Structure 1
Amino acid sequence: MNVEQARFNMIEQQIRPWEVLDPGVLSLLAVVKREDFVPAAYKAMAFVDTQVPLPGGQCMLEPKVEARLLQELAVHKHENVLEIGAGSGFMAALLGHKAQQVITLEINPELAEIARTNLQRAGVMNVTVRHADGSRGLPDEAPFDVIVLSGSVAEVPPGLLAQLKVGGRLAAVVGQQPIMRAMLFTRGSEHDFASVQLFDTVAPRLSGFNEPTRFEF
C-alpha cells in the first residue's frame, strides 16, 4: 500500500466532502500519522471510511467524524482540553497539536496503556493519558476550554457541561441507535448553554455513563 497516496485519498475523498475545509485541520491530518495509532491487525483499515476495532469493544471513529469534530471545536493554542475516551490516542494527538494541554481519560487499562505508548512514540508531549472513569470528568481540575467525548452517550451529563469555561465548547455524539447526532454545546454564561446539531452518525457507547430508564408495559 502506498501510505501517502492512501492518506491523500482519505483527505480528498472522505474528509473534504464532509465539509471539513479548515486548512489547519486538513494539514494536520496530512502530518499526524493515523496508521501509527491503528492496531497492527487492522493496519490496512487505517485510511478506510469505517470504524477501526480496538480492544475492549471500543473503536477508532471514522476519519471524517474525527476531522469534523476537530474543525467544529476550533481549538486554539492557549486552550486546555479534556477528552473522555482515549481509545488508541489518535484524537488526543490531533487535539494536542491544536491545544496548549490535553488530558485524556480512558476507563479501559489496556487502551490507556496503548494510547500512552502511541502518543509517546509520536512525540506528542502535551497530552496526558489517565486510566480513569471519565463519566464525571475532572471537576477538581475544571474548568476546561474544550471537552470532547470520543464516543456516544444517551445524554450529556450536566456535571460535564458545568466543567466548561464561559465560552467553552463540548462535542459529543448523543442519542440511541439507530439515530445519534454529533452535538456541539457552547457555554455562553454561567447559566446559559447553546447547542447545535452537527451531523448524524453512530458511535460506540462510552463506558460509565447512565442510560435512560426503559419502561416496559
Structure 2
Amino acid sequence: MFLNSRSPQLPTPEQALGGRPEPAFTVPDRHTVLGNALLGPYPEGLEVADFALGCFWGAERKFWQLPAGVWTTLVGYQGGYTEHPTYEEVCSGLTGHTEVVRVVFDPTVVSYGELLKTFWESHDPTQGFRQGNDVGTQYRSAIYTHTPDQAAAAEASRAAYQKVLTGSGYGTITTEILPAEGRAFYPAEGYHQQYLDKNPGGYCGIGGTGVELSAPFETNWGASCPTGLVAAPEAAAE
C-alpha cells in the first residue's frame, strides 16, 4: 500500500482537498467472490456495517471469508471531508478519510457482535494513524455506526476489548466510533475491490494482536445482535 514518511495529522475542513460532485471512476457491479451486487439498494432485511482497520485490501478479505451471513463487501473511503476522493488524494493525507470496509450482512445469520469480534481481532487498534508498516491518517482504526444498537454494541465491545488488551500489555485503544450519518462512504476504485481475490499473492498488512475478545459474555450488546457477542456488565460500564 502506501508508506507515508511524514508525521500523520488530520486536516481541518479548510485544509482538505475540494473533491468533486461526481465520482471520478466507476465501480464493478458484482463481488468477485460472493457474486452479489456491490452497491445498493440491498435486499430487505440486510444491514450495513462500516469498519476501518488498516489497509482495506486485507481487511475486506477478513469479512468475506466469514463462514456465513455476509452478503457483500466493498471497500471505500469514509470519515473525511473531500467529496468523491480518489485513492491518490486519500493517500496525500489531505482528505481526512480512512480506508473502510463496508459489510452488508444478514443479522439472522451473522450478528453485528460477531462482525465486531472479527474487527477487533484482525488488527491492532492501539496504533493511532498507522497499522503495522502502513503509516498515515487513512490507516486509522474506526467504526462508523448505522443504528443506536450498533453504536451501543461498538462502545461496549471497545470497553471489553480494552480490558483484555490492557491485561496483555497493550496500550489505549485509539479506534474512533462515530455515526455513519453525515460521514459519507465513497466506494474506492474498481481495482481495490476484492483486491486479494484478484491478486492472491498481493500485499496484506493486516495482522491482529493475537488477543481474543472472548465470548459469550453476560449482557446483550443490543437488539441488532441477539445471538452474537455480548459484553460483561463490568466491561461495558468502564
Give the alignment's TM-score, normalised by structure 2.
0.28
Structure having the larger proportion of residues in strand: 1
* TM-score normalised by length of structure 1: 0.30
The structure in which a higher percent of residues are helix is 1
Of structures 1 and 2, the one with the larger relative CO (CA 8 A, separation 6+) is 2
